[in-house]
Amino acid sequence: MPLVLTTSAAACALLAGCGTTPAPDAKAAPHSSAPSSARPQPSGSGSPAVRPVPSSLAGRTIVIDPGHNPGNFRHTKEINQKVDIGTNRKECDTTGTATADDYTEAAFTLDVSHRLRDLLEAQGATVVLTHDADRPYGPCIDERARIGNGRKADAVVSVHADGSAAGNRGFHVILPAPVRSGAADTAPIVAPSRTLGERIATHFARATGTSPANYIGSGTGLDVRDDLGGLNLSTVPKVFLECGNMRDPKDAALLTNAAWRQKAAHGIAEGIGTYLKG
């Protein structure tokens, strides 16, 4: 998969030159300074007419993990500090990617997470955000996992947008691989996480009208990874969702559209709801 810049790339300014694919919890924007604030499409601030998430989620705890933090740009030293993810050590966090017009991944993930929270809470779920831009940076990827674990969440979804090459389009859901090393043991969550991911992929595609990624996952919309601290250290069902590719102009036009982001939130909520209802 083509690569984007990371905050940890002191010796390698372009990850594409490194020959490795960055983890979604290790992406960085293509600019070294903090880009401008969120730029939602001016004509789309309202929610589309979509049916509500069916059934009640009362008694369920769902953790939403908005990828990155708008403050990360001002704290590159702190987020470059490495933490233990079981299999190895990895950067605390990264800045995330951005569109060509500097609509940041951190702004996108917060917006979708807020919309998703509202939909789930309307169905009676207890919803916890790992952060709400209410801290200077982070949290680190190991802490993000601990938040879901500590709440004994029924499901955790980490919301992201990818930073691949132009022409690479579509969404994909990242699932935990079997990992048992150090503090990491994903054996109990591999199967339920896959079910959660499959449900989200189905409903996300239906709600947004977008297709699974054409550059990863062989058209399934699913990708299994063993190098993400947020998954390796989780003890509850968890997936990452890359909602689209911010570096592709056509995907970027969707991601910056408020009405589309509401559809995205609705698709995620439906996927979680159908998973929790069995």
Does 73 fall in a domain? yes
With contact defined as beta carbons under 8 Å apart, do 222 and 213 qualify?
no
Please report, for the domain that includes residue 102, its CATH number: 3.40.630.40
Determine whether 41 is exposed, middle or buried from the number of CB atoms within 10 Å of its CB (0-12, 13-18, 19+). Answer: middle
State the Cα–Cα distance between residues 209 and 203, nearest whole angstrom: 10
**What average pLDDT is seen over the chain?**
86
pLDDT band at 27 (very low <50, low <70, confident <90, very high): low
CA distances from 126 to 35, 97, 110, 174, 199 (A): 33, 30, 18, 24, 20
pLDDT band at 21 (very low <50, low <70, confident <90, very high): very low
Does 235 fall in a domain? yes
Does 143 fall in a domain? yes
Look up the pTM and report it. Answer: 0.83
Question: pLDDT at position 278, please?
Answer: 86
Does 3 fall in a domain? no
Count up the domains in the chain and report the number.
1
State the Cα torsion 260-104-143-170 to the nearest 10°.
50
Catalytic residues: 242
Question: pLDDT at position 55, please?
Answer: 56
Does 186 fall in a domain? yes
pLDDT in tens, 117-135: 999 999 999 999 999 999 9
Q: Quote the tokens at residue 107.
A: 């702004």
Enclosing domain of residue 110 = 22-30+54-276
Does 71 fall in a domain? yes
Does 270 fall in a domain? yes
pLDDT in tens, 246-267: 999 999 999 999 999 999 999 9
Does 1 fall in a domain? no
